[in-house]
A and B are shown apart, each in its own frame.
Chain A
Amino acid sequence: MSAQWPAIRMTVNGESRTVQAPAMKRLLDVLREDLHLTGAKEGCGEGECGSCSVRMNGELVNSCLVPVLQAAGATIQTVEGLARNGVLHPLQEAFLQCGGAQCGICTPGMLMAAAQLIERNPHPSMAQIREGLAGNLCRCTGFMRIFASVIAATTQQPESAGEGASDAR
């Protein structure tokens, strides 16, 4: 830690957190190394694969492309913030039921992209699901089980799926 590093306050999964870090340190590294939230993963490190996706002020971002200084004062939600009081988010339940997760590297990003999608659009079509998840790469499932998971989450519990996502902001 250096005295020259700025103190940066963020609200992460509902809690106020302050880190002291180089301004250009990636939000991804601050989440994983400083805050020990290892849900967001580094895949490509260049915004192509989506495995580091988190939500910042209600928008989906690649945390590998956010210098932490730009997250100062922001509200951040990571995959760790999806479950509420020990109850899984409907998307997480659906991924479990439908085999939407295999090796798990892409899963946190897929969940955050899907949460972003269904908050804006509680009943997305297949085309909208494909577009909403387009920047998230999976090398195990062939994507179909992931799409099926999102459909299951939005059809089985249409009300709670939408509300759960917006509650968690």
Chain B
Amino acid sequence: MRGNAESHALVAPGSLAAVLDLLAAEQGAWMPIAGGTEIMVAHAAGRLKATKLVSLWGIADLRFIQASADGVAIGAGTTFIDLRCHAIVAEEFPLLAKASAWIGSIANQSRATLGGNLVNGSPAADSSPALLAYDAEIEMISVRGRRRVPYSAFHTGYKSNVLAPDELLYAVHLPRRFARHRQYLRKVGTRRAMAISKVALAATALLEYGVIREVRLGAASLAAYPARMPQTENALLGQCITKETIIAARETILAEAQPIDDIRSTAEYRQRVAANLLEEFLLEWSREEQRT
């Protein structure tokens, strides 16, 4: 059934401080809405439960990309158009630029925000695998102050996270230390555009004297929320990229991935594709190393 605009209140206090005051005054009563690309879909379908919404759109304090010597801070209200057009993001965090460019359409990217993508917390979220691979940190803010958690500890279950009722996601912090890393990201969906992932896998990794010294794997749709694959990472650490290593890593990710059957795909397909993506990443990397 179609949603009714009059059964939901929406206010736009206009500043970050005013939004935080509202969230603190009536804890749990207000749902933040940024670009609305998720919430307005639920509203149109008549399944938006929140009756009181507070707008974050247009709050300049949440829409920024700030680079310092060792990191880049991205405000939660930064849109995916902002991200894909930013020179430092494109150069040093190409996986995030790539993911930003394949989220929905241009019209979706103009409105959808990084913070919205993460707080919505879909297991298939497009920006998540790249952020996991880049070891992102999440900064949250409330009238009580600010705190940070590693992004890998932000999601706690299906569409749930560590945000307290009075907190907003404020910024995502990326360390600027991936220039020499091998980087990989591939999304498998039904079509090239406007498709939600069946599976996506991102990786950053470093080889030292022929041995894998660092590896981070970020996956979408392999668990109830976007997640690292620590067992598979451990199976790769300290190894040379050999056929045996690849076989062992495939077996580990097949066991570690816990996808589900749903309207977009099956658990079995997702597991097999995840193992294939991992193998593709490792084979491409190994070929590149042999060439140089």
A22, B41: Cβ atoms under 8 Å? no
The verdict on A136 contacting chain B, using a C-beta distance below 8 Å, is yes
In the complex with contacts A48-B194, A61-B111, A135-B193, A70-B12 CB distance below 8 A: yes
B110, A59: Cβ atoms under 8 Å? yes
In the complex with contacts A66-B36, A67-B33, A70-B12, A47-B81 CB distance below 8 A: no
Residues of chain B within 8 A of A116, CB atoms compared = 106
The verdict on B245 contacting chain A, using a C-beta distance below 8 Å, is no
Residues of chain A within 8 A of B194, CB atoms compared = 48, 134-135
A101 → B minimal CB distance (Å): 19
The verdict on B210 contacting chain A, using a C-beta distance below 8 Å, is no
A3 → B minimal CB distance (Å): 13
The answer for the CA separation of A124 and B10 in the assembled complex, in Å, is 39
Residues of chain B within 8 A of A134, CB atoms compared = 105-106, 192-194
Residues of chain B within 8 A of A21, CB atoms compared = 5
In the complex with contacts A48-B194, A61-B110, A72-B104 CB distance below 8 A: no
B7-46 CB contacts (< 8 Å) to partner A: 8-12, 33, 35-37, 40-41, 43-45
Residue of A nearest to B34 (CB): A70
In the complex with contacts A25-B5, A67-B33, A47-B41 CB distance below 8 A: yes
Q: Chain A: interface secondary structure?
A: mixed
The answer for the CA separation of A66 and B36 in the assembled complex, in Å, is 7
Residues of chain B within 8 A of A165, CB atoms compared = none
B40, A66: Cβ atoms under 8 Å? yes
Residues of chain A within 8 A of B9, CB atoms compared = 23-24
Residues of chain A within 8 A of B81, CB atoms compared = 59
Residues of chain B within 8 A of A23, CB atoms compared = 5, 9-12
Interface flags for A6-24 (1: CB within 8 Å of B; 0: not) read 0000000000000001111
The answer for the CA separation of A72 and B247 in the assembled complex, in Å, is 57
Q: Is the interface on chain A under 10, 10 to 19, 20 to 34, or 35 or more residues?
A: 20 to 34
Residue of B nearest to A116 (CB): B106
Residues of chain A within 8 A of B110, CB atoms compared = 56, 59-61
A166 → B minimal CB distance (Å): 17
Q: Is the interface on chain B under 10, 10 to 19, 20 to 34, or 35 or more residues?
A: 20 to 34
Residue of B nearest to A54 (CB): B107
The answer for the CA separation of A131 and B100 in the assembled complex, in Å, is 13
Interface flags for B82-103 (1: CB within 8 Å of A; 0: not) read 0000000000000000000000
A128-160 CB contacts (< 8 Å) to partner B: 131-132, 134-136
B12, A72: Cβ atoms under 8 Å? yes
Residues of chain B within 8 A of A60, CB atoms compared = 106-107, 110
Residue of A nearest to B55 (CB): A70
The answer for the CA separation of A48 and B55 in the assembled complex, in Å, is 23
The verdict on B57 contacting chain A, using a C-beta distance below 8 Å, is yes
The verdict on A26 contacting chain B, using a C-beta distance below 8 Å, is yes
- Among A24, A59, A135, point to the contact of B10 (Cβ < 8 A): A24
Known contacts A65-B41, A67-B40, then 17 further A-B pairs from the complex at CB < 8 Å, ordered by chain A residue: A46-B41, A50-B107, A60-B106, A61-B107, A61-B111, A62-B37, A65-B40, A66-B40, A67-B5, A67-B33, A67-B53, A67-B55, A70-B12, A70-B57, A70-B58, A117-B106, A136-B105
